[in-house]
Structure 1
């Protein structure tokens, strides 16, 4: 025995600041714990496992969305590493074209300078300087979260290799006829002065005026056709009025001409099935330069397009509104229409309107010449691999959303009117001909002249992101072939939000199939949407988005990671409040305190760490002797491991966390450690006591390993206290325990019976208000000789866990004033005499019986009412019937309890 009380033990109180500082990811990083090597796959035959980090914007800072997304990825990668796979997590950041340029332009504006004052080269120097100074914030914060990337491989989408890949991809698609320059309606931000992707447009509810206008028919003066619009300023660009060919109200007007108010232009009335008969008047003004759907109608009918709103959001017409802001012009034209007699009426109308994500202004549908990718040829195979199961979605219902996108795909506008980003590799000669090449020199060679001007636009940020599974592994063109690509492509699991299922997931699938001939990943895990406790999406404007770094300071990283996975079932939204992290903090404290208890027992039975290590390393749980609780624990532990690994295979990470939590809190702490203390206080030999301690440590260590992917800091800290281990080692590199079917199948009926008896005694004590600190006399009447033997063996355990003095009786007479119950054919009685005030308890029971009786009467009356029974929904009636049954059962129990206390 050892009297050195601090030989093995932890600090008395768990301090997450100290532990996380000691085991922060920079420590693991310095040790190379998270490094993955292609040689171990290609030469040594290890199974690869790779994960792509969705590259956060270089302008970003840590949000709860990042916490959820990256914790999920970290769990997958740490688990795979510990199950023997060569696990590679590929990190990186996105240059975020609009966001970064906006940040730098705002900074320059404070200094009284614009990018045009500086010129393109000097402005880009400022952007790179900003990126070098501030762009790494998000990565430093992710490191604090403990994520286990191979940081040597960190890639920025504007790095040389990634940029080369982007240019080569553009050239390949152009030469294959899949990239073209054309005129289309695009999303335009009047403030940022650039095209926007659909992902950069945020739909918001907005109240506008629905204006009803009448257009006079040219051949029938005094006769009008009425349309409804929320954008009356664009009537100046009308080229037609469309009606549905099935609408009987307008069949006689198709082919007629109408006069555009204010503009005075004559436009045709056309028939097109696009028009919704039920909306407005069933007649639609066609303004192809200012509406994407109108543009498609105009193309079908060979109509020209007229534009009256410029790039800056100001009117460009020649009817007296030129130079006015588009919304000011709207108000003025309403007054003019009223004066001309064309205004019929105005209604308030609420609808969703697109806003620029960065500038927070209404996006303008704008007819512009841009670069596009033909998507239909790429989408066909990308849809097929998902339909065929080559790529699996978790949860699978997102396949329907994906299928809808791919079957209704439109060409992708990839040009942006920015300076920060990958400049489009296209040059123009003096005659306007286009020469696409990797460099100016190559373009000159193709054109036969050096009088070339490069396109000013840059590529959409998503154009570099869709190549992410390739570029992160060193791909630069179709001929790329390196060890990393051979070892780790396709990647295994992508974790991302469902909101970018088309903008990113679908496009990566297209790119992987087109450029590499293989899918880019095998599984896609779609994260939950995090909402506040009122169900609202987290938003800075609402002030309901907690700062994760402050949450970490208060509760700890492990607590935040644990909590956010615990409350995030696959496919369901997460309701998050900072106070929920009490769950994770309490669990960390529970782990710490339980470990200290085990270590204290270890100190009693082992002289020093070497002595313990010698016995522990030879410990074989299969050779456990005469330990009912220990056998039960082993069976429970290995059953937990079976569920654990099954849940991983099924991508149910929330179940993994709950599974380990329930096992550790209830089975290990609630039952086994209490049983162990009782057993160690008995007459065990030294070897039996050491065996009991080794079992406790064995299961503790295995549970820590199972928890490590979720709670990396506290698990590595405790793991280093189990055996003398150098800091260069890490639990992250240890082997994940697997379920032993033999141990999982141990017959644990004896201990289970003791558990049920203890639970029933506790229940009866609670039912009759027996104080916790009062020892009760309990009499057991076994139903069989086998159960009698179990009770005799577990008498000390029952006494300790149920706070009682148990004894076995043989007579058939029920003790007087005893609360009784039956457990699997065994009777038990808690003698109440002297433990409680019979008078007070009888009064309480009589009062409760009266209340419950009244409730039974009310339910009976309700159900006997034919008006309710005959007309209420069937499920409602059944609910009330079940409620009555449960209440009657409760009433009988109360009466039985009162009878126990009667003379």
Structure 2
């Protein structure tokens, strides 16, 4: 016997453990089936499940469960990323609390501590994923620092190096002076800050009293200036191009160069050029062969390339001193307050510095060529397709990729240096030593590069490295390439593009041609708060998916995310939406209880839905077929919201609201063939519903699957997905029942508009009905009277009576005489007052929305609420006007 409600708090874990214990998630159990593969974007070992993860993982799990039920040999490959900087910071903070640093421990001991922490605390996110029902093959769990994966990463580096696609060079990087490492663009957070433009005057050599004014937000960098750029067409400076200036404080000669980087319309039109400390300036320096003068050490303290009094000074202290000195020299023209963007390290929380340093780089431009062609040729498709443009723009303008990091936790670069600086790159130290011995003709001591590789360098191997590459494993043969990659747009560059480059470089198909790592890249939306704002801790609007799951159940959260995942549209998340879909789960549960109460059980016997006789049963079976087809087609096209909507509307609207009401008389009747057919039909349709909903709501559907029958061949997770059968769709039955539902709906709406008492039974007169409608009326008369609250139904003979309102369905008109049922004048007065109130509200809200002062100052969510309120008020007013028109027609 089903409980009153589904006890998700206690049952979800038991259901999940049952799946796991039975090995339901494992791949390889259907060796003759087509494989279907998704690789989980590996969460950081430091990670906790946030709402973005919940969306990303739910969308993957929906596809995995869908294809598993379609009979595929499914692999959802899980794993974790070692997350170099993030993990090192976590462990260093723990050491700080103990009063020691990683340098006190030394590299080897520090790495031991990281592994200890990983074993104790890492992977918490996997338990949280289980909480949401995500059915990964946990037996194949991988970690980017596993031995086999480390070997793959080292081989990748060595192969690319020997193919001249990895090189070492001194270039400008994003440098984090707190962590003392280069970081990727993804790890740089642009923050809007209040600052200043300091306008400095640089004296023109040989022209006493003439200056060029430059403006900067970073006065400390002036000590590294080597030039001033002006626009070639700027009349103010044409005569100075090629001439020199004297750099104040330092005394260095600066050349004036003509460059498009200088905009005559901005500021003074002249730009100071510091090639070693600004990415734009660095490009100007390259164009004009300017010197790079590095003025910072790794901590962003001034080095020996600046005047002695500034050496060793912290950058912001130096800023104050330089500004004061320029003012003292009379060369500070003005200070202009401004709001500007400053790049910060997202982990350290300090401003990063563009810094010139020796790093390892990948020739990404060469690798990108095949990755561009693969998408152009359709070997890999983006959904929505619009993301291809973003992919192409970045790939066609790609720069060399800095892959070295000055950390201890990660894949140490497999490069060794001889005493003269000669480089030897090999997978192992033994191989490097052999190369060195051959090179020198004797044994020389080698020193290994201390840097580690960027996390993205290793995670780019995720599609093939998790399956055993570079070994030619059975898993690699069967499950590579993966079918779908589900990801957010923010890592298209940093991960998706790099997996494409690696896959096409290292993997070959059966014909020896380069092979892409996945066929489809599905790019999902962002989850925002209910007002459309991006979530952040500072705003206090972060939504915790685990709290929602605890409050409403994992099924409700999953269904909400799927139902709101429309391609190209961000998700506005709120508790109310999840609560609404929790109510949907309750509706499903109550429908199952109705089936149980009326003995609608799947007994495991033969039931052919094509053989039913009753129109009602033919109709609901056909609607179930159509709904399952819609869900199937929508999931195949990654239209999650359409799939969820099709399942929702069939379950709640068609089955619960209509079929259950329509079938009740059969269940109240004496036993017989019709009653037996209705029971079997209801049981069959309920099974179809549970199958359709399982990918979205796995827990409650699995519970009901087991409770509604003792004769299941398998758990629902392994049951067979509904396959569309056109023979089960009876168009005549569909037409008749849909006509009946429309007529009942319209009569109920008219009764409601006219404020007819719910318990009052009224008459109905029918005019202009064709033979088919007459037959349908005859067949469905009892149901029509019961559900529309009708006393008598007759054919209209002559004109419609006074005091009747009309409802038109198809070719026929249905008149409802209400003069003796309602007080027409009183009803008109009531509706008139309601309309007057709504029109005042509409005028007030319209006035606010047309007020530019209000629109410019009000928060976005307030404006949205006003627009929504206006739309709802206008809809209500239109309905009242229609009701008044009907009442006026009754006189």
Alpha-carbon separation, structure 2, partners of 1:885 and 1:195: 58
For 1:786-865, list aligned pairs within 5 A: 786-832=772-818, 835-845=821-831, 847=833
Moved more, 313-322 or 559-568: 313-322
Say if 2:124 is the partner of 1:124.
Answer: no
Alpha-carbon separation, structure 1, partners of 2:824 and 2:363: 85
For 1:343-742, list aligned pairs within 5 A: 343-448=332-437, 449-476=443-470, 480-516=471-507, 517-602=514-599, 613=603, 617-625=605-613, 627-682=614-669, 686-725=672-711, 729-742=714-727
Cα distance change of structure 1 residues 116 and 725 upon mapping to structure 2, 3 Å threshold: farther
Cα distance change of structure 1 residues 673 and 256 upon mapping to structure 2, 3 Å threshold: same
Structural RMSD (CA): 2.5
For 1:172-211, list aligned pairs within 5 A: 172-211=159-198
Q: How many residues align?
A: 850
Which of 12, 18, 23 in structure 1 is aligned with 2:4? 12
- Asked if the contact 1:178–1:374 (Cα under 8 Å) also holds between the matched residues in 2, the reply is yes
- Asked if the contact 1:417–1:456 (Cα under 8 Å) also holds between the matched residues in 2, the reply is yes
Alpha-carbon separation, structure 2, partners of 1:229 and 1:762: 72
- Asked if the contact 1:424–1:457 (Cα under 8 Å) also holds between the matched residues in 2, the reply is yes
Alpha-carbon separation, structure 2, partners of 1:782 and 1:16: 53
> Which residue in the other structure is 1:23 paired with?
15
- Asked if the contact 1:798–1:806 (Cα under 8 Å) also holds between the matched residues in 2, the reply is no
Cα distance change of structure 1 residues 851 and 267 upon mapping to structure 2, 3 Å threshold: closer
CA positional deviation for 1:174:
0.6
> Which residue in the other structure is 1:864 paired with?
none
Cα distance change of structure 1 residues 579 and 892 upon mapping to structure 2, 3 Å threshold: closer
Alpha-carbon separation, structure 2, partners of 1:458 and 1:245: 44
Cα distance change of structure 1 residues 361 and 780 upon mapping to structure 2, 3 Å threshold: same
Cα distance change of structure 1 residues 723 and 455 upon mapping to structure 2, 3 Å threshold: same
| Secondary structure of 1:281 counterpart | coil
Alpha-carbon separation, structure 1, partners of 2:643 and 2:881: 40
- Asked if the contact 1:678–1:800 (Cα under 8 Å) also holds between the matched residues in 2, the reply is no
Say if 2:72 is the partner of 1:85.
Answer: yes
| Secondary structure of 2:472 counterpart | coil
Alpha-carbon separation, structure 1, partners of 2:690 and 2:836: 52
> Which residue in the other structure is 1:877 paired with?
none
Structure 1, unaligned runs of 5 or more: 1-8, 604-608, 859-879
* Higher RCO (C-alpha under 8 Å, 6+ residues apart): 1
Cα distance change of structure 1 residues 839 and 123 upon mapping to structure 2, 3 Å threshold: same
Alpha-carbon separation, structure 1, partners of 2:5 and 2:246: 83
> Which residue in the other structure is 1:264 paired with?
251
> Which residue in the other structure is 1:245 paired with?
232
- Asked if the contact 1:781–1:808 (Cα under 8 Å) also holds between the matched residues in 2, the reply is no
Alpha-carbon separation, structure 2, partners of 1:447 and 1:854: 88
Say if 2:130 is the partner of 1:143.
Answer: yes
Deviation digits for residues 336-390 of structure 1 (CA, Å, limit 9, x no counterpart): 1111111111212222221111111111111111111111110111111111111
| Secondary structure of 2:599 counterpart | helix
CA positional deviation for 1:126:
0.6
Moved more, 413-422 or 532-541: 532-541
Cα distance change of structure 1 residues 785 and 205 upon mapping to structure 2, 3 Å threshold: same
Cα distance change of structure 1 residues 306 and 889 upon mapping to structure 2, 3 Å threshold: closer
Alpha-carbon separation, structure 1, partners of 2:363 and 2:875: 66
Say if 2:139 is the partner of 1:152.
Answer: yes
Structure 2, unaligned runs of 5 or more: 438-442, 508-513, 845-869
Alpha-carbon separation, structure 2, partners of 1:839 and 1:300: 86
CA positional deviation for 1:318:
2.5
- Asked if the contact 1:846–1:898 (Cα under 8 Å) also holds between the matched residues in 2, the reply is no
Cα distance change of structure 1 residues 80 and 885 upon mapping to structure 2, 3 Å threshold: closer
CA positional deviation for 1:743:
2.7
Say if 2:884 is the partner of 1:894.
Answer: yes
| Secondary structure of 2:58 counterpart | helix
Say if 2:158 is the partner of 1:165.
Answer: no
Alpha-carbon separation, structure 1, partners of 2:559 and 2:127: 21
CA positional deviation for 1:306:
1.1
Cα distance change of structure 1 residues 795 and 366 upon mapping to structure 2, 3 Å threshold: same
Alpha-carbon separation, structure 2, partners of 1:295 and 1:845: 73
Alpha-carbon separation, structure 1, partners of 2:879 and 2:366: 67
CA positional deviation for 1:778:
3.3
Alpha-carbon separation, structure 1, partners of 2:91 and 2:874: 69
Relative to the length of structure 1, the TM-score reads 0.90
CA positional deviation for 1:848:
6.3
- Asked if the contact 2:566–2:639 (Cα under 8 Å) also holds between the matched residues in 1, the reply is yes
- Asked if the contact 2:6–2:700 (Cα under 8 Å) also holds between the matched residues in 1, the reply is no
Which of 194, 207, 212 in structure 2 is aligned with 1:220? 207
Relative to the length of structure 2, the TM-score reads 0.92
> Which residue in the other structure is 1:861 paired with?
none
